Amino acid sequence: GAVVSQHPSWVICKSGTSVKIECRSLDFQATTMFWYRQFPKQSLMLMATSNEGSKATYEQGVEKDKFLINHASLTLSTLTVTSAHPEDSSFYICSASRERGYGYTFGSGTRLTVV
Amino acid sequence: AQTVTQSQPEMSVQEAETVTLSCTYDTSESDYYLFWYKQPPSRQMILVIRQEAYKQQNATENRFSVNFQKAAKSFSLKISDSQLGDAAMYFCAYRDQGAQKLVFGQGTRLTINP
């Protein structure tokens, strides 16, 4: 149990366009989902925390107008990278919490390349 | 703010031997959770083991066990009988009992030598 599906696994987009990444909890309800960014050979950097039905909480330094997060249901959160630029190229990972203290289940990640 | 430190960027071990990965953390809280996650080349994050701070007994999951020293704020991971499939990045993570987000360490890259 506790599976999180993330799509797409990789995407290439042109500079200036927007791209949406989906994160779904398949077999549990996730009241809270998290979005991370990971640069090569580095740790995960939390971008934002999204709670179902409310606005996401962004970490300091993360542009909320560039990285739009929507958590419209208990099983789906989306991250939209707007007006993408090459510096937005990275590996993005979502995770979901089933209940406090239980731990977090991670999606398989999305490799975004902006050309 | 809480911080997690993994002082070993890279570790290597011979197959079938035992290796210990270090993790220290800084917090003023008394109730919290600690985790070890594995990230293999596929980059899928996998929960290896977790520990509740209020439990004195060290958590164990098959070949994986932890040495939780609350006073020293230390949470090391021991991998016994290392297997080639254990090769991965290992991240130590912390979470306050009342908080939502995880705080990750820098990671340790583990190589298994056949």
Contact B44 A108 (CB under 8 A): yes
| pLDDT of amino acid A99 | 67
Per the model's pLDDT, the better-predicted residue between A77 and A31 turns out to be A77
For A12-38, what is the HEC assignment?
EECCCCCEEEEEEECCCCCCEEEEEEE
The Cα of A33 is separated from the nearest Cα of chain B by a number of Å equal to 9
Is pLDDT above 70 for A102?
no
> Taking CB atoms and an 8 Å limit, are B107 and A43 in contact across chains?
yes
Q: Which residues of B touch A32 (CB under 8 A)?
A: 100
A44-73 pLDDT, tens digit each: 999 999 988 888 999 999 999 999 999 888
8-state DSSP, B27 = -
**How far apart are alpha carbons B51 and A44 in whole angstroms?**
20
Interface mutation target, options B32, B43, B90, B95, chain A, most CBs of A under 10 Å: B43
DSSP annotation of A55: P
**pLDDT at residue A19 tops 80:** yes
CA–CA separation, B56 vs B34, rounded Å? 13
Between B1 and B113, where is the model more confident?
Answer: B113
B21 contacts B76 by C-beta, under 8 angstroms: yes
Q: What is the pLDDT of residues B38-74, one digit of tens each?
A: 999 999 999 999 999 999 899 999 999 999 999 999 9
Mean pLDDT of chain A: 92
pLDDT band at A29 (very low <50, low <70, confident <90, very high): confident
If contacts are CB pairs under 8 Å, which of residues 79-98 in chain A contact chain B? 91, 93, 95, 97
Confidence of residue A100 (pLDDT cuts 50, 70, 90): low
Would you give the DSSP letter of residue A60?
T
- Answer yes or no: is pLDDT of A101 > 60: no
Of B43, B95, B97, the CB nearest to A109: B43
Q: Can you list the positions of beta strands (E) in chain B?
A: 3-5, 10-14, 19-21, 24-26, 32-39, 46-52, 60-61, 64-69, 74-79, 88-96, 103-104, 108-113
Residue A57: which H helix or E strand, with range? strand A57-58
**What would the pLDDT profile of B68-93 be if each residue is shown by its tens digit?**
999 999 999 999 999 999 999 999 99
Q: Which two tokens stand for residue B33?
A: 């959770």
Nearest to B105 by CA among B49, B15, B19, B23: B23
The pLDDT tens digits for B97-110 are 877 889 999 999 99
